[in-house]
Structure 1
C-alpha cells in the first residue's frame, strides 16, 4: 500500500521509507525471536523429561566436525524422544561426542538416522579465564547440549541417503578415497582436500599454524575467496555468451548452476553454502555492470541469509567473508587508482595487491579481536599465492575428475603434488620469520567497532570532505580512546588466581604489570599466555609453591602433605588442597576456621567428592577448579 501511495504522489514523503523500515525491522525481530531455542515450544531443552526414565533419541546426522585426539564429533538434528511406548516429537541440534577409540565410527555419515541414549549434558565452559569457549562456539551454531557416549551404544536406524546433503557428503568422501590411491604426500594431500573439497580433518596442527602465521589461513577453508576466484574464472570463460540473444540470462543461470555444483562437490558444508549464496547474488549484480548493483546484491544476500538463520551473524567466518567482500568493492578501486603502471605484468600484480590490501582493511580489526595476531607478511604471501590460486583450483578440479574415472596420469599427480609442496614450503618459510608476526595483540569489542567507525568516516572523507564527515571521524577516534581507557580501567591492579591444570598446581599473583606464577613447571602454557595477554602483563616470574602465601590480602594455607599444622595464632582465610593430601579436612576446618576451601586440578576426584561433603557439612564454601573453573581472589 505504501509503495503504490508513494508512486501516486508527485512529491514523495517519508511514509514509504518509514513503512519499509518497520517492515524490515518486524521481519528481522520476528525471525530472530523464533530462532532462539528457548522460544521454540518443541525444542528439546523445553521438554520436561524425567531423568530416571530410559529414553532414546532418534536423530539425523547433519554434519561431521573435525575430530580431536579424544573424540569424533557430529552434530545431530533431533527428531523424536522415545521412552517406552511413548514418542515425543522434538527439534533442535545436539553435539554427539564419540570416544576416539570406538570401533566402526567411520560408518557414520551425514544423512543417517541414529538411535542414541538420551543423556544430554551442558557443554562445559573453559576452566581458565580468556580461553576459547567451545560452548559459546556451539551456541552460535544453535547447539545447546551434548551427548558423550561410545559407538557400541549407537544404533543405526536408517542408512538411506535421499537428501542432497548426504549425497554430496558421500560424493566428497568417494573423491577423497580416489585421491588417496595416488602418490600424493601427506601434507600435500591434506592441503589438496582442504583447498578443493573443503575437508580439513587431516591437516596437521603445525601446517595449520604455518598458514595462520603467514596470513594465508583463508586458503585452507573454502570461503568467499575460493568462490570469488571461481566466479571470476567462470565469468571470464562464459563471456562470449553476451553476444547472443538472452546471452546474459543464460550466463547468469550457468554461473549459478556451476557455483552450486562446486558446493555439492565440497559436501555442502554451511560455510560453503553461505559463500555460494552470497556470490550467486553477486553474479547477478555483475551482469548488470554497475557497482551499485554488486553492492545491492551483497546486502540483499546478507538480508536473505540472516532471514534464513539470524545466528549466521555471530559466526566468525560469516563476518569475515562479508567484510572482506564489502571492503574489496569499496576500497579496491581507490587503492588501485593511486598507481597505474603501464607494464601489464606490473599492472596485474598491482591489481592483486590492491585486492589483498582492500580485503585486509576490512578484516584486520576483526582478526585482531578474535585471533589476537596480525601476520605482517600477509601481502607477500598473497602476492605469491593468489596469482596461482585460480590455476591451482582449475588443475585440482581436473585432477579430481580424472582420479574419479581412474584416468589420472602419474606425471599429473607428481606435478600437482610438487606445486602443493612448493606452496607448503613457501608458507613454512614465511611463517618462520617470527619477527613479522605481531601476536598477543588484544583489543576489546568496543575498540573494534570504533575502528570500523573511523574507517567508514575516512571512506566518506575520501569521497567528499565536509564538516559533518570530519566530525564523524573525530567521534570515532574519541570512542576508540574512551573504550581504550575504559578497557584499561577494567583490568584489576592486584589479583590472585588459582588456575585449573590437570595433575598440576598453578597459582598466580598479579601486581600492576607483574605476575608471579607458583608452580612446579616453568613453562607458559596456553592458558597462561592468554591470561598474560588479557591482563597486559609485562614481567613474569616462576617460583616454587609455598606453604603459606598472601593472595590479594587473603592469608592462604596450601596443604599438600599429611602433617600436623601446629601453628599458633594462625587463621588463614583460604585453604588450598593440592596433590591429593589424605588429610582430615574437618579437623583442619575446626582448627583454622577458613572462609573458603579450594581444591585444584592436581587432586584425585574421589578425594574432592569427600572434601566437598565435609565442607558442605561444616557450611564452608568449597570450590573445585575442575568443575567451577579457576578461582579468582581480588583485593578488597
Structure 2
C-alpha cells in the first residue's frame, strides 16, 4: 500500500524549499523558530498517542516540521548565509583582482565556440578558507589542455556576473546556473590558469581519472569519430564531442534523453542487473544480499561515468528503488521513489529547480502509476509481441508524465517519438550492456577487433536511424506556446487520469471532467490575456528591430538584409508571447505604437521637425548629432540606443541624458525595451 504520509511529507518539503528561495530570514532566527516548532511537534506526538480518535493537530505539526526543514535546508545553501562564500569577498571589495583563488574542477561542461567551460568549487581565496561554485570560462588556444574533475587550479580572483539575456524569452543562462548553485563566473585566458601539481585525491578525482582512462583506451581502437562521440555520451555522459548536426537529429527524433547518462540508463542497468542476479535469491538471505550487490554495482557504474551530478542523482534515486524491488510490490517502489525524493532534496534543495531532476521523477512516477494499467489493456499471446507491447506502454506512460514539462521548457514535440523509442528502447539495454563490456575489455587491453567493429556498426546504425526519423520534419512540432498555468492545469489532468485508472467510479470521472474543464479555461485565459498592445525595441548587434504586437500578431520593422522572423531572438519571442502571425516592414523614422510616439533617428541625424513631440527617441546607426540640442528641442520621456550604435557614442549620450535628467536606455546593457498601451509611464524589461 502506498504510504500517504510520505507523499504529504514530500509536498511539505517541496513547499518549504520553494518558499526558502523567495523569503529570506537569518539562520539564527530560523533555528530559534525551529526549536519552538519541534517542541510543539513533541507535544502533539504524545498527545496523539493518548487519543483514541485522532484529530488533525498532529498531522499539521508534521507538515509544518517538514515545511520548516525545507525552508532551513534552502537557507543553509544560500550564499548570504554562508560566511565563507566568495560573493561576500566580492561585495566587500568589488574591484579586487590581484588576489589568488584556489578551486577544484567539479564538472566539465559542453564547450562554447571559443571557450572551454567548467564548474569549479572554491577552496580558498588568498590562503583563507572560502566556498561556493564558479563558472570558469577559458579561452581556447591551439595547444588545448583540458582540465579534469579533481584538478586543483590557481586562478586570479576576478569574478563577474553571468550574463542575462538581452531579449525577452531567450534562454536565461544566469538563472540556469543559479539553479546549480553557481552565482558568478571567471573569464580567463589560458595563461592565467595554473594547474597545481597536487590535485585533489577524493572520490570525484578518482572517478575522473577512471573515465579519462576509459576514453583514452577507447580512442586507441578503430571507432569512427562520431561513433566514439556517441559511445562517450551513451556510457560516460560526455557529450562534448558530438557534432551539432547529430545532436539536433537526436532532439528532433525525440531520443535526446539517451545521450545523457541519467535515470533511463540507470533504470535499464538496474533491470539488467536484477535479472542477472536472480540466482542470488535462492541462497539464504538472498534478497538482502542481492539488494546490496545491486547498489554496489550501480555505484560502480556511477564511478565509470565520472560521478557527474546527473548520474549521482539518478543512482541515488534507483538505489532506493533497488531495495524496494526486492519486496516485489509496486507500492514499495512508489514509497522508495518518494523517500529518495525527500533524501535528495534535503541534501541539495537546488535539485527541485533542475529540469533533469523534474523530468526523471515525472517519468518514473508516471511509469509506475500508469504503465501497468496500459499494459493490462491488451494481453499478447506471443512473447515477442508482449515484449514490444511492454516497451510501447512504458514509452506512452513516460511521455504522459514528461510531456507537460517538455512543452513548458523546450516548446517542441517530436511526433515520431513513439516510432523512435519503440525501435531504440528494446535494444538500448543491449547497447548499454555490450558497451560496458567493451569499456572493461578496452581498459584491460583485451578488446578484440571484431567486437570493436560490431559495436561500432551498431552505433552507426543507431545514428542512421535517428537521422532518418529526424529528416521527417513535418512530424516535428516546434515553437509550441505552453505557459506555467497550462503546465499546472495539465498535471491536474494527468493526476485525474491516474485516479481514474486506479478506480473507475463516479467521483473520479467527475474529477477528470473538472480537470479537463480547468485546462480548457486555461487555454481560453491565455488566448484572451494576449490582447494587450505592446511595443518592443529588440537588441540586435549592428542592426535595429522594432516590434509592434497586437493580440497574436507581431509586426517587425527592421533594417536587416534577411528575414527578421528567422532570427532566434524573434523565434523565442514568438513562442513566449503566443504569436501566430508575423509581418515584416522596412524601418521608418516615425511610429505610433501602443499609444506612444516613437521617433527613430538614424545616421542621417535629421531631427529638427516642427511640432514633433515624441515620448520615445530611438537612436540607431550611430548618428552624429548634437544630443543636447536634440533633447532640448524634442524633450522626450526617454532616450533609447539599440545595438547598432558605437559604444563610445552611447557613453557620451548617457552622460548628456543624465545632465538633462532624461532616462537613457542602452539595449546592449539593459536589454530590450518594452512599453505597453495601458501604461502612461514607460517600463523596461
Give the TM-score normalised by structure 2: 0.88
| Corresponding residue of 1:100 | 140
| SS of the residue 2:404 aligns to | helix
Aligned-pair CA distance for 1:585:
2.0
Q: Report the more deviating stretch, 595-604 or 233-242.
A: 595-604
Distance 1:67 1:450, change over 3 A: same
- The reply to whether residue 165 of structure 1 matches residue 207 of structure 2 is no
Is residue 81–residue 88 contact of structure 1 (8 Å, CA) maintained in 2?
yes
Is 2:655 the partner of 1:613? Answer: yes
Contact kept, 8 Å, 1:518 with 1:543, in 2: the verdict is: yes
Q: Does 1:50 align with 2:93?
A: yes
Name the SS of the counterpart of 1:452 in structure 2. Answer: helix
Change (3 A) 1:396 1:553: same
1:111 aligns with 2:150: yes
Contact 1:597 1:621 in 2 (8 A): yes
How many Å separate the matches in 2 of 1:190 and 1:60? Answer: 26
2 CA distance for matches of 1:505 and 1:22?
Answer: 53
Specify which of 618, 621, 632 is matched with residue 579 of structure 1: 621
399-408 or 599-608, which deviates more: 399-408
Shift of residue 380 of structure 1? Answer: 0.7
- 1:494-505 equivalences under 5 Å are 494-505=533-544
In the alignment, the residues of structure 2 paired with residue 259 and residue 315 of structure 1 have an alpha-carbon distance, to the nearest angstrom, of: 22
Structure 2 residue aligned with 1:75: 119
Q: Secondary structure at the match of 2:176?
A: helix
- Map residues 117-132 of structure 1 onto 2, 5 A cutoff: 117-132=156-171
Following the alignment from structure 1 to structure 2, what is the Cα–Cα distance between the partners of residues 538 and 289?
51
Structure 2 partner of 1:240: 279
Aligned pairs (5 A) from 1:173-188: 173-188=212-227
Provide, for residues 445-475 of structure 1, a one-character-per-residue CA deviation record: whole Å limited to 9, x for no partner: 1211121112212222232245543443344
2: CA distance between counterparts of 1:22 and 1:495?
Answer: 44
Distance change >3 Å, CA 401–CA 463, structure 1 → 2? closer
Q: CA deviation at 1:20?
A: 3.7
Cα deviation, residue 19, structure 1: 4.8
Measured at CA, do residues 543 and 38 of structure 1 come closer, stay the same or move farther in structure 2, by a change above 3 Å?
Answer: same
The offset of 1:512, in angstroms, is 3.1
Residue 312 (structure 2) aligned to one of 254, 273, 280: 273
| Superposed displacement of residue 36, structure 1 | 2.3
CA distance in 2, matches of 1:51, 1:604: 27
Q: Is residue 88 of structure 2 the alignment partner of residue 66 of structure 1?
A: no
Of 534, 548, 556, the residue aligned with 2:598 is 556
Q: 1:286 to 1:567 in 2, by over 3 A?
A: same
The CA distance in 1 between the partners of 2:472 and 2:72, in whole Å, is 50
Name stretches of at least 5 consecutive residues in structure 2 with no aligned partner.
1-41, 679-685
Q: Is the 8 A contact 1:114 1:158 kept in 2?
A: no
Cα distance per residue 1:117-148 (max 9 Å; x no partner) = 22222212111111110011001001111122
Cα deviation for residue 150 of structure 1 reads 1.4
Q: How far does the alpha carbon of each residue in 1:5-54 deviate from its partner, in whole angstroms, 9 at most, with x for none?
A: 87787766656545543443332232122222223333232344223443
- Bigger mean CA offset, 594-603 vs 297-306: 594-603
Shift of 1:315: 0.5
CA deviations over 1:504-562 (Å, ceiling 9, x no partner):
21221123333222222314111111111222222222222222233323222222224
2:563 pairs, out of 513, 519, 522, with 522
Q: What is the CA distance between 1:602 and its match in structure 2?
A: 1.4
Give the conservation status (yes or no) of the 8 Å contact 1:102–1:151: no
Once the 2 structures are TM-superposed, how far is the Cα of residue 345 of structure 1 from its aligned partner?
1.1
Superposed CA offset, 1:557-583 (max 9, x none): 222224454422222322222222233
Aligned mate of 1:260, from 294, 299, 308 = 299
Counterpart of 2:37 in structure 1 is none
Secondary structure at 2:326 match in 1: helix
**Aligned residue runs from structure 1 range 367-516, under 5 A:** 367-516=406-555
Residues 103 and 159 (structure 1 numbering): CA distance in 2 closer, same or farther, change over 3 Å? farther
Counterparts of 1:241 and 1:600, CA distance in 2: 69
SS of 1:496's equivalent?
Answer: strand
Deviating more after overlay: 400-409 vs 486-495: 486-495
- Deviation at residue 626 of structure 1 after TM alignment: 0.8
**Any gaps of 5 or more consecutive residues in structure 1?**
none
CA distance in 2, matches of 1:155, 1:573: 53
Give runs of aligned pairs for residues 523-542 of structure 1, distance below 5 A. 523=564, 524-542=566-584
Aligned counterparts of 1:462 and 1:565: Cα–Cα separation in 2:
69
Q: Deviations over 1:354-380 (max 9, x none)?
A: 111111111011111111111111111
Moved more, 623-632 or 21-30: 21-30
Q: Partners in 2 of 1:367 and 1:589 — Cα distance?
A: 48
C-alpha displacement of 1:94: 1.5
Measured in 2, the distance between the counterparts of 1:41 and 1:614 equals 42
Superimposed CA distance per residue, residues 71-102 of structure 1 (whole angstroms, 9 cap, x where no aligned partner):
211112122222xxxx5432211211112238
Q: How many Å separate the matches in 1 of 2:359 and 2:389?
A: 23
RMSD between aligned residues:
2.1
Alignment of structure 1 residues 259-338 onto 2, 5 Å:
259-338=298-377
